[in-house]
Amino acid sequence: MAQDDKPPEGPDFAAGIPSADLVDGAILSGRVGDEAVILVRHGGTVSAVGAKCTHYQGPLAEGLVVGDTLRCPWHHACFDLRSGEALAAPALSPIPCWQVEEKDGRITVGARKKQPEPKKTGSPSEHFIIVGGGAAGFAAAEMLRRRGFAGAITMLSSDDVAPVDRPNLSKDFLAGSAPEDWVPLRPEDWYAKNKITLKLKTDVTALDTAARKLTLGDGSTLAFDKLLLATGAEPAHLPIPGADLPHVHVLRSFDDSRAIIANAKDAKRAVVIGASFIGLEAAASLRARDVEVHVVAPEKRPLERVFGPELGDFVRKLHEEHGVVFHLEDGVTAIARNHVTLKSGSTLPADLVVVGVGVRPRLTLAEKAGLSIDRGVSVDEHLQTSAPGIYAAGDIARWPDPLTGERIRVEHWVVAERQGQTAALNMLGQPTPHRAVPFFWSQHYDVPINYVGHAETWDALDIDGDVMKRDCVVRYRLGGRLLAVASIYRDGDSLKAAADMEHQVARSAPQTG
Ligand SMILES: Cc1cc2nc3c(=O)[nH]c(=O)nc-3n(C[C@H](O)[C@H](O)[C@H](O)COP(=O)(O)OP(=O)(O)OC[C@H]3O[C@@H](n4cnc5c(N)ncnc54)[C@H](O)[C@@H]3O)c2cc1C
Ligand code: FES
């Protein structure tokens, strides 16, 4: 994903450029010393900021300017052009900013600005607890500290490692193109430096909403002032003989990914059960490791339910071009040490099996606590549950989608992170409705598919471009209304679709934030 580290090209902004070279809304690439910098004119202001996104180094010069923000073309991170702050995930760190002077028809870039220290907020005696060390939990903790929360933060996670970049576990890391040190979201010492007490291998077993206290697996209790539940989801297991054999894997945690890699070192043939995003990404990564891969799934076309038939056929063809063999409209009825048995009666040799048959939100804690549940933890637009001061975010949360008015729950990395960020602001007493338009991406070999909005169903699908040529925008509508847009190598269109939907949300929603 990372771009080559070539020396920056283009004009030297420190020497200045003619003002006329930068029209409103335009982005100009250049450099200041050895650093790649872009100049952006937005409204009446010119900003000079770093040229690379702090998520995976996406090229911000190809991004979209929306008001005083800049959106990354790859996974839609949103940066404040005035301060560089990463306002919306998946980027969490700011981009650098430089002083700019516009005088006598020239724009000149000066010294690099210092990141401002956050103003302290909240009381030092307050204690916020976050249950979950995943996307939403981490983003919430990071935002609380970024915005100067003065109190104590405890993050409780049943994982055995600090928060990781989960999407990487089925993509670059599993394929062998990203080293282990890319996977943690922050180095281990970040938590202590930011005064976040991170307790790993810690199960929260009970929540008493009235006494405002949690019970942990070892029987101890912890009191909180405000709480965020971000317990995520767990992989569904298959109730078939052999599902617990050592060469059968699910894929959710860092350890799961490492176990598949260890198994793949001497595996010749893998069977992936389920043509889900995770199953197919795992298939692509195993092909990168030269393992023969067979995918077995009940549907007619992979990912058809999410993307429709055309993109489903494309995904299938793409995998077939890389040697994956599909066994669709079929299932696995039993797994043995060296093979799996299919519903259709045949057997497939397999010395590695990956089960990617979906996930279930981890709701037990919220259910037992008596929180309102509706196929997820019900939250309001501020992500508050039915208990005041207790919030929920990420894969477990069902929230009112301002675009459609429906209550939705989705399992996307960026949504979970953005909800964690929104929950943090609400916990700080800054009322912030969650109005972000859902976004996800999925990567198969060198082909990324981006998706904005949310369409559980649609009655019209139109395609602009050519799906098979990997150059398309697919729009999903219901009753004439645009619900979602999927795209391949049309980052500009994808960004624009997200900005349009955001605009629609802003126009229709009451201003409570
Ligand atoms: C391999 C893989 C690849 C993915 N790729 C993509 C992608 O490309 N794009 C995309 O949009 N999405 C992707 N996803 C989905 C995305 O990772 C999830 O939507 C996201 O992680 C959800 O974040 P979360 O914080 O809700 O839950 P999680 O990240 O799952 O975190 C939940 C946390 O809660 C902890 N926990 C649960 N119960 C308890 C308890 N009782 N006590 C203490 N701790 C508890 C868990 O240990 C974990 O730390 C992928 C998922 C996987 C597994
Ligand atoms: S590289 Fe910019 S959002 Fe991912």
Ligand 2 mutation target, pool 54, 60, 62, 75, most atoms within 8 A of CB: 75
What percentage of the chain has pLDDT greater than the value 70?
Answer: 98
Question: Which atom belonging to ligand 2 lies closest to the Cα atom of 1?
Answer: 1
Q: Does the CB atom of residue 78 touch ligand 2 within 6 A?
A: no
> How far apart (Å, rounded) are the C-alpha atoms in residues 413 and 419?
10
In the numeric block, which tokens belong to residue 433?
């409705």
* pTM score of the predicted model: 0.96
Distance 345 CA to ligand 1 centre (A): 35
Cβ-proximal residues to 276 (8 Å cutoff; 6+ apart), any chain: 303, 356, 357, 358
Q: Whose Cα sits closest to atom 27 in ligand 1? A: 232
Q: Does the CB atom of residue 72 touch ligand 2 within 6 A?
A: yes
351 with 247: CB under 8 angstroms?
A: yes
Q: Does the CB atom of residue 56 touch ligand 2 within 6 A?
A: yes
Distance 322 CA to ligand 2 centre (A): 26
Q: Are strands 352-355 and 269-273 parallel, antiparallel or unpaired?
A: parallel
Q: What is the pLDDT of residue 411?
A: 96
pLDDT in tens, 135-158: 999 999 999 999 999 999 999 999
Ligand 2 mutation target, pool 72, 168, 417, most atoms within 8 A of CB: 72
Cβ-proximal residues to 134 (8 Å cutoff; 6+ apart), any chain: 157, 159, 163, 166, 230, 232, 394, 416
Q: What is the pLDDT of residue 513?
A: 41
Distance 91 CA to ligand 2 centre (A): 6
Q: Does the CB atom of residue 433 touch ligand 2 within 6 A?
A: no
- Give the ligand at the shortest distance from the Cα of 285: 1
> How far apart (Å, rounded) are the C-alpha atoms in residues 20 and 10?
16
The pLDDT mean for the chain works out to 96
Cβ-proximal residues to 114 (8 Å cutoff; 6+ apart), any chain: none
Number of Cβ within a 10 Å radius of residue 177: 13
Q: Does the CB atom of residue 77 touch ligand 2 within 6 A?
A: yes
Q: What is the pLDDT of residue 511?
A: 52
Helix (H) or strand (E) holding 478: strand 471-478
- Give the ligand at the shortest distance from the Cα of 364: 1
In this structure, the residues whose C-beta lies within 6 A of any atom of ligand 1 are: 131-137, 156-159, 166-167, 169-170, 202-204, 230-233, 251-252, 278, 362, 365, 394-395, 411-414, 416, 440-442
Reduced to 3 states, what is the DSSP secondary structure of residue 288? Answer: helix
Q: Does the CB atom of residue 53 touch ligand 2 within 6 A?
A: yes
Q: What is the pLDDT of residue 479?
A: 95
> How far apart (Å, rounded) are the C-alpha atoms in residues 499 and 486?
14
Ligand 2 mutation target, pool 3, 38, 52, 55, most atoms within 8 A of CB: 55
pLDDT in tens, 276-294: 999 999 999 999 999 999 9
Q: What is the pLDDT of residue 4?
A: 54
Q: What is the pLDDT of residue 115?
A: 86
Question: Which atom belonging to ligand 2 lies closest to the Cα atom of 60?
Answer: 2
Distance 356 CA to ligand 1 centre (A): 14
Q: What is the pLDDT of residue 43?
A: 86
Q: Which residues, given as ranges, of the chain have pLDDT below 70?
A: 1-5, 509-513
366 with 355: CB under 8 angstroms?
A: no
What is the secondary structure of 324-382 as a DSSP string? -EEEES--EEEE-SSEEEETTS-EEE-SEEEE---EEE--HHHHHTT--BSSSEE--TT
Distance 264 CA to ligand 2 centre (A): 29
